[in-house]
Structure 1
Amino acid sequence: MTTPAIPSRWQQAWRLARRLFVYEVGMWRSLYRWVLRRPLVTEDGGASFGYAQAMTPVIWVFIVLSAIEIPAVDLLLPWESARLTLAFLGVYGLVWMIGLLAMVKVHPHLVVPSGLRLRHAATIALPIPWENVVSVSARNRSAPASRTFQYEQTADGTVMSIVILSQTNVDVVLREPTVFHLPKGPTEPVTHVRVWADDPKALVAAAREHLTRSGAPAA
């Protein structure tokens, strides 16, 4: 007796629910670490590089607006049940926005002896060993859209950009096409990864130092 196939729409709904659950857990865990000042442990001899400086003012605007909205709604609505419901949702939304800020604060890019760890929030971590890195360089680029993940086909292969406010400023050239595993599934085989860092020159300098130590050529 064969098990009937699950309709694709239910599979998609299940995957979406699972991604949302993982994201929610990551948000609360990040908030816990941020409030208690417990950063993630990194390898000895490594360094972390933030990428949240540009987006932090935007997130704070939403946090302030959410905080103002809670008492405003309470004053405007005459129905107690509606006020309590919306107050709960408002407080949860406010905490969620603070958690979003915590996620990008406590999950920076890492340059460690084993390689690069390029990250975005709590659910994205791209491990790149030094033997798969040809070069790391700083270059400001504007992305054609605001989506976090973007792909571009070039003569040298596929470029994957992890965008912050439609920009990147660090280019990583890979030695061979690499597939990364994201919450939505595996990426295309990519030969270049572009990210944003608050201090791109410092990240590039640290990466080149590790490349030299590892014996890989630093272009």
Structure 2
Amino acid sequence: MLAPLVLLIEAVLLVFNVIDLNDAVLLELAMEFVFALVALVMATAARVQYRKLRRSGMARGDAFFAALTVVLPSPVVAVLRHEIGVLGALWRWARRRPDVRPGGTAVQYGQEVRTFVAVSIFLSALEIAVAELLIPWQWLRIVLCVIGIYGAVWLLGFLAATRTRPHVVGPDHLTLRFAYLARIDVPLAAVTRAHTVTHGQYTKTVHIDDGVAALAVMGTTTVAVRLSGPTTVRVNGEDVAAIREVRCTCDEAAALIALLPRRTG
């Protein structure tokens, strides 16, 4: 990323005779060596982190993107994860292989977004047709067509991700997900009970406040899971302490509630 800036600085120094061509070449080689060394160190650190996460039992995909945060900013990794994930979800959907580990039971969610996504896909196709009919410049029609097709595929992939990445009640954890946008892992031993209750007007997909971690779909949650006390849960791969209640939404709330333990506490 810094190479173009280095070249520009060298060009300015050459123009004003601050350095000669030989010095410029040597400086460029030195900078390239430094960049290569830094890249090697960062790649090694990412690889070490990946192996550590894999040994802890984390899935390959989750470990890969978690390790990427060693070399890239978290927001960039989140975007990459989602872009790659929604495209990969199409492959899982076609093969009917949801991302559910052995021993886990899937609980579907996302009925709130399916109509919206379906309408958006239809509108993308309509926009492509309108552009072909009304825009006289071929190059612009091609650009808009490519953008429209990618948008439709992305939306279809997002829909596939909501189907192939369901909530999962496993032997040890309750995993709540919304496609590749968010994930909350709750230790099952801390769950005391769950009930249906609607909370709305969330402005973020994951909202954490006053001991409550909410994973909202379309700004709403429909199920509340009570915990035995202040509990540490994992939110998007990071530990969040002192959580007493977790909220989510699912297509069949009764199915999720029936799978969760009910204890006094």
Normalised TM-score (structure 2): 0.67
Letter in 1 for 2:208: Y
Map 1:1-219 to 2 at 5 A. Answer: 14-44=73-103, 46-139=104-197, 141-153=198-210, 158-175=211-228, 176-182=230-236, 187=240, 189-208=242-261, 217=263
Distance across 2 between alignment mates of 1:92 and 1:159: 37
Residue type at the aligned position of 2:209: E
Which digits, 9 at most, give the CA deviation of each residue in 1:36-94, with x for residues without a partner?
222224323x3211111121111111011111111111211111111111111111111
Corresponding residue number in structure 1 for 2:11: none
- Higher helix content, 1 or 2: 2
C-alpha separation between the residues in 2 aligned to 1:122 and 1:75?
Answer: 36
Unmatched segments (≥5 aa) in structure 2: 1-37, 39-71
Are the counterparts in 1 of residues 232 and 239 from structure 2 also a CA contact under 8 Å? no
Runs of 4+ displaced beyond 3 Å = 185-189
Cα 1:36–1:43 shift into 2, 3 Å: closer
Larger RCO (alpha carbons 8 Å, 6+ apart): 1
**Deviation for aligned residue 1:111:** 1.4
SS at match of 1:180: strand
Alpha-carbon spacing, 1:14–1:40, altered in 2? closer, same or farther (3 Å): closer
Secondary structure in 1 matching 2:131: helix
Taking a change above 3 Å as real, the CA distance of residues 218 and 109 of structure 1, as seen in their structure-2 partners, is farther
Instruction: Calculate the aligned-residue CA RMSD, in Å.
Output: 2.3
Find the structure with the greater CA-based Rg. Answer: 2
SS of residue matched to 2:112:
coil
Distance 1:53 1:66 in 2: 21
> 1:47, 1:218 → 2: CA distance?
24
Q: Distance in 1 between matches of 2:246 and 2:254?
A: 16
Report the alpha carbon displacement of residue 109 of structure 1 after superposing the two structures with TM: 0.7
Q: Which has the higher strand share?
A: 1
The residue that corresponds to 1:7 in the other structure is none
Q: What percentage of aligned pairs have identical amino acids?
A: 29
- Contiguous gaps of at least 5 residues in structure 1: 4-12, 212-216
